[in-house]
A and B are shown apart, each in its own frame.
Chain A
Amino acid sequence: MKPFTFSKPENLGKALSIKKDTVQFIAGGTNLLDLMKKNIAGPDAVLDITTALSSKIEQQGKGVRIGAMVRNSAITTDKTILSKYPLVAKAVLAGASPQIRNMASTAGNLLQRTRCPYFYDITTPCNKRKPGSGCSAINGENRMNAIVGYNEQCVAVHPSDLCVALAALDATVATTDKNKKQLSIPFKDFHKLPGDTPQLDNNLPANAIITSVDIAENPFSKNFYYLKLRDRDSYAFALVSVAAALHLQDNHIADARLASGGVAHKPWRWYEAEQYLKGKAPSASTFSAAADIVIKDVKPLSNNGFKKSMLRGAVETALQNCLTA
């Protein structure tokens, strides 16, 4: 690990005034420290912002505001989250281990890097780690990689479970920079596709910081499900995951949300399938047709063709489980 200076700014203003590209904020550290040990991240200075950021879950208008420093485990036990946004708690519980959930922060979860094996192996080319060096995964070991939204520059997937639920519920990400300029970014625009800048995972402005994640009031607290399929039953990253939520009225689907993890460079929303579900009766044939819409534009890589049928089954199962959960 490269040596660095360490300090703990007493407040956010101070932290932001010192922040530059060679300076890293540390919250939970569960991803950053790992990246520093592997010499993928090498900041000159590390700023402990654990007390500068909010670790409260508060009511915000008719919705909820999750402070950037709220630990993942706190989300899973919070009464408001469990009663009004249970999909979020369910997704968090599907990720990592109890130890890591006790450490990891909400904002850090959004900002975690991909677990593509070539990103982690500094002896191989990787456009995300070293722009312009090439993508080793596109013709390499890519069974864990993307099946949609990728390009020849990068086929990595975003590893978060929490973010899949936040994408499904149209959360917003509140950010601020050193000039106290605040920006609210809709969740669907927070993470980005690789494009020509695969080294960037998201649209967080340079040297800005996430202060909270906000979720508006929504009707998806009754019929929802988070399904995560992976190589082992727990403590593994998703091959594919599906967050499904239905708003049922008079035995019809008034509104639907469908999002996936493990399939793209960002948490992926299946808008077309959601549109299809609206107004239909919740039945096995409706769900099957929606699953067909989900997989129609999916283009697996050389080693992850299995993800297509796996995703189809996962969407069907998640939607079915919305009715019984």
Chain B
Amino acid sequence: MNGKQSYSRRFFLKTSGALAVLAAIPASVKALYNEAKNFIVPPKQTFPLPVSINKKMYKVTVDTRTTLLDLLREDLHLTGTKKGCDHGQCGACTVHVDGERVLSCLTLAAMLPGKEVTTIEGLADGEKLHPMQQAFIECDGFQCGYCTPGQIMSAVACVKEGHTSSVAEIKEFMSGNLCRCGAYNGIVESIQKVAK
């Protein structure tokens, strides 16, 4: 032993031990906090989702809870599809999946791999509007326009399904799309025009 040694073996062990304990406490507290949080609020589950929209492949990492509507609007910024009620009561979120009209607010994005989604953005052919879009303009098929993307997607399907033999039939098969402005007459006219 000589006077130059400033730290004793005991001192070293004591200090390093205390430091280790100090370092360990926040970690275990944090872990406990996370465990408690996960018990009360289950952690969100994310996964990689390949999805084809308007014939373009997207790869996004999303929460399992994501609906097709939120995927379109929030993740892919395709905001043409509108959120009205978010509970399948208004039809504003209507899109086509594999060519059939569905409600995107009640479709789980996780169920989409292998399917083709068409939104209002995918309807026009370049600069040329889809005949139904053109008809809605010509027949005054909208006022405020909020329900219009859903109305048009539904109308295109209505014609494709062949439910256009009478005004009554068109109204029955368009009943899933509500319009608060009351542009229904223009919408029916638009459909009749395209169905001809």
Task: Kindly provide the distance from the CB of A106 to the nearest chain B CB, expressed in whole angstroms.
Answer: 16
A98 and B154 form a contact (CB under 8 A)? yes
Q: Give the number of residues in A that approach B within 8 Å (Cβ atoms).
A: 30
- Chain A 8-22 interface residues, beta-carbon cutoff 8 Å to B: 8
A103 and B65 form a contact (CB under 8 A)? no
Chain A residue numbers with a CB within 8 Å of B110 are 6, 46, 48
Chain B residue numbers with a CB within 8 Å of A26 are 108, 111
Alpha-carbon gap, A48 to B112, bound state (A): 11
Interface check B58, CB cutoff 8 A: no
Interface check A288, CB cutoff 8 A: no
Residue of A nearest to B175 (CB): A234
**The residue from B63, B108, B175 contacting A33, defined by CB atoms under 8 A apart:** B108
Interface check B83, CB cutoff 8 A: no
Q: Give the number of residues in B that approach A within 8 Å (Cβ atoms).
A: 34
Does more than half of chain B's interface fall in helix, strand or loop, or is it mixed?
mixed
Chain B residue numbers with a CB within 8 Å of A103 are 102-103, 106-107
Alpha-carbon gap, A204 to B103, bound state (A): 28
Alpha-carbon gap, A86 to B58, bound state (A): 43
Interface check A179, CB cutoff 8 A: no
Alpha-carbon gap, A2 to B172, bound state (A): 36
From known contacts A44-B42, A98-B161, A234-B171, infer whether A6 and B47 are also in contact, taking CB-CB under 8 Å: yes
A98 and B108 form a contact (CB under 8 A)? no
Question: Interface of A with B (CB < 8 Å)?
Answer: 1-6, 8, 26, 29-30, 33-34, 36-38, 44, 46, 48, 50, 73, 96-100, 102-103, 233-235
Question: Interface of B with A (CB < 8 Å)?
Answer: 42-45, 47, 63-65, 67, 86-88, 91, 94, 100-103, 106-108, 110-111, 154, 157-158, 161, 163, 171-173, 175-177
A-B residue pairs in contact (CB < 8 Å), sample of 17: A1-B65, A4-B42, A6-B45, A29-B108, A30-B106, A33-B67, A34-B87, A34-B88, A44-B42, A48-B110, A48-B111, A98-B101, A98-B157, A99-B102, A100-B176, A102-B100, A234-B175
